[in-house]
Amino acid sequence: MLREKLATMLLAASLGTLGSVGIAHADSTVTVLLSDTGASATMASGMGMASSGAKMNMASFSVKATPQRIKAGKVTFKVTNTSKDTIHEMILSPVKDPKKPLPYDTANGKVNEDKAGHLGEVSELPVGKSGELTLTLKPGTYVLYCNIPGHFDGGMWTMVTVS
């Protein structure tokens, strides 16, 4: 009798644990590479988000995110600066309308992070260094960008979709 009771308790505990694992959502990881054409290269401009006529293949800077479509929930951005000679950072902001530009301060060559809705960042990464940012994201479109002066306008941004 005691053996049957113990077996029933173990089974119930086991099923409870398995049930909670079954409903958990898998976390997402996004690999982000920050790069540029080199400090000696001519810096392109007018490559900011929603810039009319921007030829992104001519951009001096880039942010590559893999994958670009992720599930809502806990997301970790693993960011690496692959540049040979330039410090970069990655900032995450929500995008309400991908056809509208982010609030850009031309005088300082930077996005106004507060107005853009800055959600988090991996601060200035030296060449070859990495960092991480983990957030819980709701469905929507988000932009990843470097906000070191001139980098965003030089094409250093990309979008990810959370569903």
pLDDT tens-digit readout, 112-133? 999 999 999 999 999 999 999 9
Pick the more confident residue, 91 or 46.
91
Output the pLDDT for position 43: 57
> In order of start, what are the domains of the chain with their CATH numbers?
26-162 (2.60.40.420)
Question: Are 82 and 59 spatial neighbours (Cβ–Cβ below 8 Å)?
Answer: no
Q: What pLDDT, on the 0 to 100 scale, is given for residue 99?
A: 85
How far apart CA 43 and CA 37 sit, in angstroms, is 9
Amino acid at 102: L
Cβ atoms 29, 78 nearer than 8 A: yes
How is 80-112 classified by DSSP, letter by letter? EE--SS--EEEEEEEES-TTS---EETTTTEE-
Strand partners, 125: 88
The strand ranges marked E within the chain are 28-36, 61-66, 69-70, 73-81, 88-95, 104-105, 110-111, 120-125, 130-137, 140-145, 157-162
Question: Which among 113, 96, 95, 92 has a CA at the least distance from the CA of 104?
Answer: 113
Question: Is the dihedral angle over the CA atoms 3, 4, 5, 6 positive or is it negative?
Answer: positive
Higher pLDDT pick, 104 / 57: 104
pLDDT(153) > 70 = yes
Radius of gyration of the chain (CA): 21
Q: Which residues pair with 158 in a beta bridge?
A: 144
| pLDDT tens digits for range 95-109 | 999 888 899 999 999
Q: Indicate the pLDDT class of residue 61, thresholds 50, 70 and 90.
A: confident
